[in-house]
Amino acid sequence: MSATAPTRVSEHNIASDQLDNHALDVIHKLNDAGFDAYLVGGCVRDALCGVIPKDFDVATNAKPEEVRALFRRSRLVGRRFPIAHVRYGRNLIEVSTFRQAQHDNIETNAQGLIVKDRAFGTMAEDAFRRDFSINALYFDVSSNEIIDYVGGIEDLAAKRLRLIGDPQQRLAEDPVRLLRAMRFAAKLGFTIDPNILDHVEDTAERLEEIPRARLFDEFLKLFLSGYAVPVWLTLKETPLVRSLFPSCNPDSRLVLNAMRSTDERIAQDMPVTPGFLLAVLLWDDFCSRQLEQNPDAKPALNYELAMDTFAVQQQHISLPRRFTMFAREVWQLQPRLEARHPRQIPRVISHKRFRAAYDFLVLRGAEDSKLEECGQWWETFQHADQGERKNMIDNLPKGKGRKRRSRGGSKKKSQTPTNEFGSDYNSSFNK
Ligand code: ATP
Ligand code: MG
């Protein structure tokens, strides 16, 4: 199949000013050294779909070591198949050497999963090694042509995600391809070939074989690329959601609302963090653990139970500690935001996770009118001046905003319950 002559298309909507100068520089340098080099993958696909590409990949017949030798600011990464990363300041161009398509050169384990495939090939072979037809289009910058070996142009026009080759085999080689299908379908509004969807169940199970760190990377791409809502809506209807987030209720309104707000933040160039999404995805599980242990009280955060919640999730996707810490801090602030004890308020509002915890409370409030009122209170409080803040605390419903003694006399201990900060905390708001 690799002997097939490709289709070459010179009428397309890719304008040269859409292309990244650094990627073009890489291509020109490789050409000058006598190598072939093309733009490939997501950047060609996105540009053809009228989406601004987020990064640029180059494919070449130069071996990784040859690329490395040509670019001073480059290094080789990847064990399975080394590729060169060429750096231009903060911009990174990935340069990969054409890979072989023949499956006998690829080492697979008993289940067909690729374990090692360091085998170089021709451009045609490289095309057939890629996942989806729309990801296997090459752009030749010198002739201004799209080169298509696999029917990608046709699938792009039909807005169709089709795996190259036999879907069952391609998914067995790498189950992550299914997650990629969901992501690209959501991003581009494409439909997934029914032949792929036939294998969802098997593939979901086989995600367990994938290194958990890779799944974390994929988790980031799925939900922090600006189209978390369509990704989630697709994913939650499949067994994939169980493989990725076993303790999460797929119909949780909180999760959907959080996905929506994540997309909105990305659209507005506001910062987003996976820590927040972890807090959202694992919240129900954490709450039911707390409730089970202490059904009567609204307890402060139980550290052990938070860790248990993360431990279950860690068996599926590895979670860097800074993000579980973030989630834990957001959870820890929830009961304090709800309680609004005057003594805690200054500490809460100056907490480094206050803003995230407040956003989390607001999302929870969308389903609960009492919490909604609480969220509005904090919204006003944040923007109020000292005098207004004092009034707000004084006007809190009985049992919440009781005034602290601020003049003379001994401090009466614990009109509000002692909190974990101890009783030596001096409020600056009531002065
Ligand atoms: P995006 O960068 O928007 O996530 P992309 O298609 O560029 O999308 P990358 O992960 O950057 O995705 O991969 C670059 C290219 O490498 C893909 O377009 C595809 O051709 C190939 N590729 C990536 N992952 C796989 C895979 N798991 N199996 C086969 N080919 C892959
Ligand atoms: Mg890419």
| Same domain, residue pair 226 and 161 | no
For helices 228-235 and 212-223, angle between their N-to-C axes, nearest 10 degrees: 120
Q: Which ligand 1 atom sits nearest the alpha carbon of residue 183? A: 4
Q: Give domain status of residue 140, yes or no.
A: yes
**pLDDT of 325-345, one tens digit each?**
999 999 999 999 999 999 899
Q: Give domain status of residue 70, yes or no.
A: yes
How many domains, in total, are found in the chain? 2
Best residue among 130, 138, 156, 222 to mutate for probing ligand 1's pocket (most ligand atoms within 8 Å of CB) is 130
- Is 202 among the catalytic positions? no
| Same domain, residue pair 135 and 233 | no
| Same domain, residue pair 301 and 425 | yes
| Same domain, residue pair 148 and 227 | no
pLDDT of 130: 95
Tokens, residue 393: 């605390």
Q: Give domain status of residue 2, yes or no.
A: no
| Same domain, residue pair 224 and 355 | yes
Q: Give domain status of residue 199, yes or no.
A: no
pLDDT of 58: 98
211 Cα: distance to centroid of ligand 1 (angstroms): 17
| Same domain, residue pair 354 and 280 | yes
- Strands in 160-301 per DSSP E: 160-161, 191-192
Give the helix/strand (H/E) hosting 107.
strand 107-108
Domain boundary among 143, 173, 203: 173
pLDDT in tens for each of the 431 residues of the chain?
445 699 999 999 998 888 999 999 999 999 999 999 999 999 999 999 999 898 999 999 999 999 999 999 999 998 778 899 999 999 999 999 999 865 555 566 777 676 555 578 899 999 999 999 999 999 999 999 999 999 999 999 999 999 999 999 999 999 999 999 999 999 999 999 999 999 999 999 999 999 999 999 999 999 999 999 999 999 999 999 999 999 999 999 999 999 999 999 999 999 999 999 999 999 999 999 988 887 776 667 788 999 999 999 999 999 999 999 999 999 999 999 999 999 899 999 999 999 999 999 999 999 888 899 999 999 999 999 999 999 999 988 765 544 444 444 444 433 333 333 322 222 332 22
- Is 296 among the catalytic positions? no
pLDDT of 418: 32
Q: Which ligand 1 atom sits nearest the alpha carbon of residue 221? A: 4
Q: Give domain status of residue 282, yes or no.
A: yes
Q: Give domain status of residue 357, yes or no.
A: yes
Domain boundary among 124, 154, 173: 173
Q: Give domain status of residue 196, yes or no.
A: no
Residues with a CB atom less than 6 Å from ligand 1: 41-42, 54-55, 57, 130-131, 135-136, 174, 176-177, 221
| Same domain, residue pair 157 and 261 | no
Considering 36, 55, 140, 202, which one is annotated as catalytic? 55
347 Cα: distance to centroid of ligand 2 (angstroms): 43
The CA-atom distances, in angstroms, between 225 and each of 106, 141, 259 are 32, 27, 11
3-state SS of 1-47 is CCCCCCEEECCCCCCHHHCCHHHHHHHHHHHHCCCCEEEECHHHHHH
Residues with Cβ < 8 Å from 296, sequence gap 6 or more? none
| Same domain, residue pair 229 and 350 | yes
- Is 55 among the catalytic positions? yes
| Same domain, residue pair 309 and 163 | no
44 Cα: distance to centroid of ligand 2 (angstroms): 9
Tell me the CATH number at 148: 3.30.460.10
The number of the ligand nearest the C-alpha atom of 181 reads: 1
**Contact of 242 with 200, CB cutoff 8 Å:** no
Tell me the CATH number at 385: 1.10.3090.10
| Same domain, residue pair 99 and 217 | no
pLDDT of 371: 92
| Same domain, residue pair 89 and 138 | yes
| Same domain, residue pair 107 and 217 | no
Q: Give domain status of residue 65, yes or no.
A: yes
Instruction: Write the residue with the smallest CA distance to atom 1 of ligand 1.
Output: 42
Domain that holds residue 31: 7-173
422 Cα: distance to centroid of ligand 2 (angstroms): 51
CA angle 61, 162, 101 (to 5 degrees): 30
pLDDT of 399: 59
Domain boundary among 127, 154, 173: 173
